[in-house]
Chains A and B, each alone.
Chain A
């Protein structure tokens, strides 16, 4: 963002862009009447945790739409995973950042198997060719490197914000500008009610993703992360470095890049956290705290797919 007056100091990259909010009529926020009393809506480092009820979509849209942003999405559809692309894109067209320009970057080793999906105006599909690695773990771990390279080569010029999502998922409800921030992580649906001692962090001290007992804020899911494209570039690089370090030491973290992501976000806290509404697992029964499911896994046969 460029300052409006000349000879002003350079802005720090952490600084938030102050938006002009147009005149809008909406219900007055009540200081003594929070809408969500059942869940934590702010982290101890004062980053918002986004749940239904905490934000007014209209207010946010009114500030973000005029900025003419382009939002990028990366997703990996390698081998048999290309079968998920159709549903992913169709549902994204209905629910993901409606009214904004979106570029879908689908990383794949077989672009011919991807169906032709009709996209809304202002939205683009880009197939990014990648190499298929031998094991699903390897494919998973190489995502950080691939995303990082692609940002440097292309997407930094095309998008303002980038979300890195799993492809075997479907959008069910709105995913909008309430998710935009410098660095964004999502709480894993399996671990939002358990104490940190039960988080599946990497616990071997020989790994670069090691998180000792007694530490940890949340368990973040590897299926959803993002932020300003420049920030995503930085942390995918860091995660890729720690992944390579482990490789050199002959160790693979418990949950692959998800472990490294958790290690990174422990030391470099995300500026916004998404509730499990944004990363749900349909196999789980829906608890009362989850009012709305926005993005969720597709039921699949893991053994068949990962072969």
Chain B
């Protein structure tokens, strides 16, 4: 790939089709006997996406490797008939719904960190948070596995830093000063080792809480906080926009 950046200035690889050999990576992954988890939320009307999401990730996400899917939903009855591949497990975790849809998204970080602490850390090595309104169209494999992984947002990758959707108001904990910023990462797909995702979600939620106390809400909610975190705790691997492409583009 000569047309795109495949390495960040801090030498983290940026994963694009053509940059990796999945067979080599699979061999390395299998040697280590790892388990990867996926956490996703389907609250209120988003129950509609459950079937599409689960069937596509079951088929295309780390196919052939053990994956634990953790589905947080206020509609647990929607999933009774879903069949999982033999190496995959689906865990349905009921949640309470809140008044505004933003609240769920803001509380995702808190929910994830609490469940990592109480449960996930004992069950998986790597954990990825993926939005429910996503359908995998191609295989996503072990090339995504690394200590701290962010995905470059498809909406933002051609724009200059100044026009990126970073939170700019200094009153917010998620504020990124002008002249700073590497990439714009999407909150729809991020992850890493269970320890690093714990730190990330804790830090982001702390920022969310502080903002709430100060009566401010970040421009793009938890995504703004994620971007602030990943600026100063640079990811060890980036996924190109191939890994989360918004159909509206």
- Structural contact, A42 and B6, CB atoms closer than 8 A: yes
- Structural contact, A29 and B232, CB atoms closer than 8 A: no
A23 to B196, CA, bound (A): 20
- Structural contact, A30 and B5, CB atoms closer than 8 A: yes
Interface set of B (CB-CB < 8 Å, partner A)? 2-15, 19-21, 24-25, 28, 32, 117, 121-122, 125, 143, 146-148, 152, 157-158, 160-161, 177, 179-183, 193-196, 198-199, 202, 231-234, 236-237, 240
Query: Which residue among A3, A8, A25, A42 has the maximum number of chain B CB atoms within 10 Å of its CB?
Result: A42
Confirm or deny: A46 has a beta carbon within 8 angstroms of a beta carbon on chain B. Answer: yes
Main secondary structure of the interface of B (DSSP, over half): loop
Apart from A31-B5, A269-B28, list 10 A-B contacts with CB within 8 A: A5-B198, A9-B122, A25-B179, A25-B180, A26-B9, A28-B161, A29-B183, A32-B157, A45-B20, A54-B7
A4 to B179, CA, bound (A): 30
Contact flags A142-155 to B (C-beta < 8 A → 1, else 0): 00000000000000
Q: Which of A12, A22, A28 meets B181, CB within 8 Å? A: A28
B231: nearest chain-A partner, CB-CB: A21
Contacts of A31 in B (CB 8 A): 4-5, 14, 152, 157-158, 183, 240
A107 to B221, CA, bound (A): 58
- Structural contact, A34 and B5, CB atoms closer than 8 A: yes
- Structural contact, A48 and B11, CB atoms closer than 8 A: yes
Confirm or deny: A16 has a beta carbon within 8 angstroms of a beta carbon on chain B. Answer: yes
Q: Determine how close the nearest CB of chain B comes to the CB of A35; give it in whole angstroms.
A: 8
User: Given A18-B196, A21-B234, A45–B5 Cβ distance below 8 Å?
Assistant: no
- Structural contact, A55 and B5, CB atoms closer than 8 A: no
A60 to B199, CA, bound (A): 22
B146: nearest chain-A partner, CB-CB: A16
A35: nearest chain-B partner, CB-CB: B5
- Structural contact, A34 and B25, CB atoms closer than 8 A: no
Confirm or deny: A11 has a beta carbon within 8 angstroms of a beta carbon on chain B. Answer: yes
Contacts of B3 in A (CB 8 A): 32, 34
Q: Which of B5, B20, B148 meets A29, CB within 8 Å? A: B5
Confirm or deny: A44 has a beta carbon within 8 angstroms of a beta carbon on chain B. Answer: yes
Q: Give chain A interface residues in 44-89, CB to chain B under 8 Å.
A: 44-48, 50, 54-56, 59-60, 63
A50 to B11, CA, bound (A): 8
Query: Which residue among B25, B122, B147 has the maximum number of chain A CB atoms within 10 Å of its CB?
Result: B147
- Structural contact, A11 and B20, CB atoms closer than 8 A: no
Main secondary structure of the interface of A (DSSP, over half): loop
Contacts of A50 in B (CB 8 A): 11
Contacts of B5 in A (CB 8 A): 29-34
Q: Which of A5, A7, A20, A29 meets B8, CB within 8 Å? A: A29
A32 to B241, CA, bound (A): 12
Contacts of A116 in B (CB 8 A): none
A7 to B118, CA, bound (A): 10
Q: Which of A11, A28, A46 meets B182, CB within 8 Å? A: A28
Contacts of B32 in A (CB 8 A): 12, 14
- Structural contact, A42 and B7, CB atoms closer than 8 A: yes
Contacts of B199 in A (CB 8 A): 4-5, 18
User: Given A11-B195, A18-B148, A45–B28 Cβ distance below 8 Å?
Assistant: yes
Q: Determine how close the nearest CB of chain B comes to the CB of A140; give it in whole angstroms.
A: 30
Residue contacts A-B, CB under 8 angstroms, 10 given = A4-B199, A20-B233, A29-B183, A31-B14, A42-B7, A42-B13, A45-B28, A55-B10, A60-B10, A272-B11
Q: Determine how close the nearest CB of chain B comes to the CB of A40; give it in whole angstroms.
A: 9
User: Given A45-B25, A269-B24, A11–B7 Cβ distance below 8 Å?
Assistant: no
